[in-house]
């Protein structure tokens, strides 16, 4: 059973695993380790195969075109992905939540129009219900809640109605800690 979002410390694991970890040959950043399940879901079979048996990581740098890279120097370009990778795009539509298909512009538009985010609430409820499948849907293999909360927070700041609501709740608090 995948309880991706409450079973792992979201984006903290990338920071924690630094040290001897391989860095991206494109940008030098140390990416987040990804599972076979992520590679098999996000990439065509022939692109995934070469990375399945080595240490490989997801590069989340927006300006870097390398999506995954291996410790042995192999890499996969973002255009090889079967989905649009929001972390690598600067223009809408930018996917944020891959399990339910929400994009940055949808989240912003709702908050600017209503002041609230039913999308954020819906995703939090789905996480609590164990319905998310980030490991297979999100190219990073990680939980989208941190990014979703950041987009919502940015939109609320635009509204001038920053309330900190994006970081309330058990799941949100975990993602937002330390920011």
Q: Which lies closer to Zn ion via its Cβ, residue 12 or residue 65?
A: 65
Q: Which residues contact 105 (CB under 8 A, 6 or more apart)?
A: 92, 93, 94
Indicate whether 66 belongs to the interface with Zn ion (CB under 5 A).
yes
Q: Which of 10, 59, 67, 97 is the binder for Zn ion (CB under 5 A)?
A: 59
By CB under 5 A, the count of residues binding Zn ion is 7
Asked if 174 and 12 touch (Cβ cutoff 8 Å), the reply is no
Smallest separation, CB 56 to Zn ion (Å): 13
Residues 106-135 that bind Zn ion (CB under 5 A): none
Q: Which residues contact 20 (CB under 8 A, 6 or more apart)?
A: none
Q: Which of 12, 61, 100, 133 is the binder for Zn ion (CB under 5 A)?
A: 61
Residues 5-34 that bind Zn ion (CB under 5 A): 24, 26-27
Asked if 150 and 108 touch (Cβ cutoff 8 Å), the reply is no
Q: Mark the segment that binds Zn ion (CB under 5 A) among 56-64, 71-79, 116-124, 166-174.
A: 56-64
Structure token digits, residue 162: 């920053």
Asked if 64 and 23 touch (Cβ cutoff 8 Å), the reply is no
Q: Which lies closer to Zn ion via its Cβ, residue 43 or residue 166?
A: 43
Rounded CA-CA distance 60/53 in Å is 21
β-sheet bridge partners, residue 121: none
List residues binding Zn ion (CB under 5 A).
Answer: 24, 26-27, 59, 61, 64, 66
């Amino acid at each position: 059973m995948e309880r991706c979002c409450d079973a792992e410390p979201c984006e903290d694991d990338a920071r924690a695993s630094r040290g001897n970890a391989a860095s991206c040959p494109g940008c030098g950043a140390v990416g987040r380790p990804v599972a076979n399940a992520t590679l098999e879901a996000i990439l065509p079979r022939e692109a995934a195969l070469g990375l399945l048996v080595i240490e490989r990581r997801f590069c989340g740098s927006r300006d870097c075109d390398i999506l995954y890279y291996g410790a042995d120097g192999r890499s996969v370009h973002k255009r090889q992905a079967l989905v649009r990778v929001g972390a690598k795009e600067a223009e809408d539509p930018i996917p944020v939540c891959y399990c339910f298909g929400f994009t940055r512009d949808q989240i912003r538009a709702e908050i600017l129009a209503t002041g609230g985010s039913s999308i954020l609430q819906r995703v939090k409820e789905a996480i609590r219900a164990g319905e998310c499948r980030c490991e297979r849907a999100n190219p990073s293999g990680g939980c989208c809640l941190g990014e979703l909360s950041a987009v919502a927070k940015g939109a609320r700041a635009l509204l001038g109605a920053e309330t900190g609501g994006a970081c309330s709740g058990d799941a949100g608090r975990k993602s937002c800690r330390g920011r």
